[in-house]
Chain A
Amino acid sequence: MDELLEILNDINPDVDYETEDRLIDGKVYDSFSIITLISNISETFNIELGPEHLIPENFNSAAAMWKMIQSILDEE
């Protein structure tokens, strides 16, 4: 989780990732931030993220992202 928080803080350090749960729905992250996020998550966790993962529920909070990463790692 620390690695993920590092990635998120690198993109936008002004967000409280412990409580924020509307990163996409609340338009905190724009489409460019999402692409940067996906690049960095794929690289750091060595997983493949595709368009099928791009739903707001997967990216609205740090916890949701962490859950998605875990489920991809489990599947692989």
Chain B
Amino acid sequence: MSILSVSFLLFILGLCLVYFLVPKRFQWWVLLAFSLGFYALGGLLSLPWLLLTALSAWATARYIQDRADAEKAFLAAHKAELSKEERSARKAKGKKTRRRALTLCILLNVGVLCVFKYVHFLLAQANALAGLFGGEVRDSVRWIVPLGVSFYTFQTLGYLCDVYWGKAKAERNPLKLLLFTSFFPQITQGPISAWNDLSAQLFAPHSLDYDSFSLGAQRLIWGFFKKMVAANILSGYVSDVFANYGSYSGLATFLGALCYAAQIYADFSGYMDIMCGLCQILGIRLTENFERPYFSKSVAEYWRRWHMSLGVWFKNYVYYPIAVSKWNQRLGKWAKKRLGKAFGNYLPATLALVVTWLATGLWHGASWGYIAWGGVNGLFIIFSMWMEGPYAKWKKALRIRESAWLWRAFQVGRTFLLVTFIKVLPEVGSLRDGLGLWKRIFTEHSLPHSLSELLPFVGDRRPLLAVLFSVGLMFLVSLLQRKGSVRALLRRRVPYLLRICVFVFLFFLILYFGVPASGGLGDFIYAQY
């Protein structure tokens, strides 16, 4: 079911009605029924894979929890009888058993994810390799990738690891874990929530509350506005530039890249606003995914503010476990002795970052473009980390004050341009196309003589005005968000009737510009990941 359809509006209307009419103890059942219904409407064939993930994680987490509890009870009961060595041996044995169960479940689920996501890519590489020897590997695989498999697999594996590490308690009811896995507002594009954050919200009773309804509905409209007016109109421009950059000027191609930066932000954050708004109406607080990312002062900071839930996931379940693993710590210790303290400190983090960023690239898509994209992001972050000391010295020598607004503006502008260039790399087509687009920007210097030469990808100019207005509005909102929620600010400063007018105006812009732009362009960029 498309999020930008009347059916979806009827779906959420039905959900809200049933959700607030049933006794509160049944509210989570309603969420489960609607989530499974939403998922089944997207394709019944995907449902068994979702069930496999939820049930395997439920059973494994129960097993891990029961074993850990039994071990704790045994050790407590036999405290006086067991020596320190015996206690340690028992703990080590128990941990090994639990780790084995965890590994099996991770392999099963990551295996399913990899088979669905990477089989075509791997077959293409095998075919290229076979071609060198005159052979051929045919890709006859024709299956449908389960909806949201990248998101729900990560979310569920996060739960499993948390239970293994004792950070979360295993859920005893399999249907509750199924709701956590399949919760429809987040299944197609995240956020990837932690069990401890989301479960408390999902299973708590919620009443219909005017403030939540009003603020949630405002955010919902804002999200539709960002997606349907800004992202969908820009999508037409961006597709044109990516397809024809070879015949456009460097400046027009650069403007196309900027359009892509605005489009992907409006698209992804628009989706988040729609879903966070809907959840707010239901009384559920979803994990936020954005914190004004284009105002970041470094690539590392940008990744702490863009798709935050994915960044936190990779940090908690990939980066930290690799960085603090025994072998990596030993390597760091060895490097400290032989290559100096600083090198030894940086090495474990660097290795963990390399793996994390290549994995992040692969998570986004099975192509060399995404692997390069992850690599370039990782390279900037690792380079900045190693250069932190020299940078501090240079800034001191040049008398640069960190708090000076000009310096901060420079950092924000530089980071925005860097992430924009990195973003377009995998999106143009192949990696060769991405690099070709970069080359075009830097090597084609002809100056435009008219607006149509400057913006060759713009046909009708009226939607362009809507884009300029919506991007300007998003910029203004981001500026205001520095001091807190804009909806709260509107409530404090703007009279009720005027506030209504603002959202009615946005609604009409959606109808006038957004609806025509959304025919055939309704898909969200992050839904493909």
Residues of A within 8 A of B (CB): 31-32, 34-36, 38-39, 42-43, 48-52, 54-55, 76
User: In whole Å, how far is B290's beta carbon from the nearest beta carbon of chain A?
Assistant: 17
* Contact residue among B164, B320, B348, B352 (Cβ-Cβ distance under 8 Å from A54): B320
Contact B349 A32 (CB under 8 A): yes
Contact A39 B329 (CB under 8 A): yes
Contact B324 A49 (CB under 8 A): yes
Given the complex of chains A and B, what is the CA–CA distance between A54 and B161 in angstroms?
Answer: 12
Query: Can you name 21 A-B residue pairings with CB atoms under 8 Å?
Result: A32-B385, A34-B320, A35-B323, A36-B349, A38-B323, A38-B324, A39-B345, A39-B348, A42-B329, A48-B326, A49-B324, A50-B165, A51-B161, A51-B324, A52-B165, A52-B166, A52-B167, A54-B316, A54-B320, A55-B167, A76-B84
Contact B166 A35 (CB under 8 A): no
User: In whole Å, how far is A7's beta carbon from the nearest beta carbon of chain B?
Assistant: 11
User: Which chain B residues in 50-93 approach chain A with CB under 8 Å?
Assistant: 84, 88
Q: Does B321 contact A (CB under 8 A)?
A: yes
Tally of A-B Cβ pairs under 8 angstroms? 47
User: Which chain B residues in 301-357 approach chain A with CB under 8 Å?
Assistant: 315-316, 319-321, 323-324, 326, 329, 332-333, 344-345, 348-349, 352
Contact B352 A51 (CB under 8 A): no
Identify the closest chain A residue to B342 (Cβ): A36
- Secondary structure at the B interface, as helix, strand, loop or mixed, is helix
Given the complex of chains A and B, what is the CA–CA distance between A48 and B161 in angstroms?
Answer: 18
User: In whole Å, how far is A72's beta carbon from the nearest beta carbon of chain B?
Assistant: 12
Identify the closest chain A residue to B164 (Cβ): A52
Given the complex of chains A and B, what is the CA–CA distance between A38 and B345 in angstroms?
Answer: 10
Contact flag A39-B332 (CB < 8 Å), given A54-B324, A76-B88: yes
Q: A34-B320, A36-B345, A52-B166 are in contact. List 11 more A-B contacts (CB 8 A).
A: A31-B315, A32-B385, A35-B323, A35-B349, A36-B349, A39-B345, A42-B329, A50-B324, A51-B324, A52-B165, A54-B324
Q: How large is the interface on B (under 10, 10 to 19, 20 to 34, 35 or more residues)?
A: 20 to 34
User: In whole Å, how far is A22's beta carbon from the nearest beta carbon of chain B?
Assistant: 17
B167 proximity list for chain A (CB < 8 A): 52, 55
A76 proximity list for chain B (CB < 8 A): 84, 88
Given the complex of chains A and B, what is the CA–CA distance between A32 and B75 in angstroms?
Answer: 36
User: In whole Å, how far is B323's beta carbon from the nearest beta carbon of chain A?
Assistant: 5
Given the complex of chains A and B, what is the CA–CA distance between A39 and B351 in angstroms?
Answer: 14
A48 proximity list for chain B (CB < 8 A): 326
Between B319, B345, B385, the greatest number of chain A beta carbons within 10 A of the residue's beta carbon is seen for B345
Closest 8 CB pairs of A and B: A52-B165, A35-B323, A35-B349, A51-B321, A36-B345, A32-B349, A51-B320, A38-B324
A39 proximity list for chain B (CB < 8 A): 329, 332-333, 344-345, 348
Identify the closest chain B residue to A32 (Cβ): B349
Given the complex of chains A and B, what is the CA–CA distance between A43 and B341 in angstroms?
Answer: 13
Identify the closest chain A residue to B326 (Cβ): A48
A55 proximity list for chain B (CB < 8 A): 167
Given the complex of chains A and B, what is the CA–CA distance between A43 and B320 in angstroms?
Answer: 17
Given the complex of chains A and B, what is the CA–CA distance between A75 and B329 in angstroms?
Answer: 21
Given the complex of chains A and B, what is the CA–CA distance between A48 and B329 in angstroms?
Answer: 10
A51 proximity list for chain B (CB < 8 A): 161, 165, 316, 320-321, 324
Contact A35 B88 (CB under 8 A): no
Identify the closest chain B residue to A11 (Cβ): B345
Contact flags B144-174 to A (C-beta < 8 A → 1, else 0): 0000000000000000010011110000000
Identify the closest chain A residue to B84 (Cβ): A76
A49 proximity list for chain B (CB < 8 A): 324
Contact A35 B315 (CB under 8 A): no
Contact A31 B329 (CB under 8 A): no
User: In whole Å, how far is A65's beta carbon from the nearest beta carbon of chain B?
Assistant: 15
B332 proximity list for chain A (CB < 8 A): 39
Identify the closest chain B residue to A50 (Cβ): B324
Contact A35 B165 (CB under 8 A): no
Between B84, B165, B167, B324, the greatest number of chain A beta carbons within 10 A of the residue's beta carbon is seen for B324
Given the complex of chains A and B, what is the CA–CA distance between A48 and B91 in angstroms?
Answer: 14
Identify the closest chain A residue to B348 (Cβ): A35
Identify the closest chain B residue to A52 (Cβ): B165
Identify the closest chain B residue to A10 (Cβ): B341
Contact B316 A35 (CB under 8 A): no
User: Which chain B residues in 160-204 approach chain A with CB under 8 Å?
Assistant: 161, 164-167
Given the complex of chains A and B, what is the CA–CA distance between A43 and B344 in angstroms?
Answer: 12
Identify the closest chain A residue to B381 (Cβ): A32
User: In whole Å, how far is A64's beta carbon from the nearest beta carbon of chain B?
Assistant: 16
Between A32, A36, A42, A48, the greatest number of chain B beta carbons within 10 A of the residue's beta carbon is seen for A32
B164 proximity list for chain A (CB < 8 A): 52
Contact B324 A31 (CB under 8 A): no
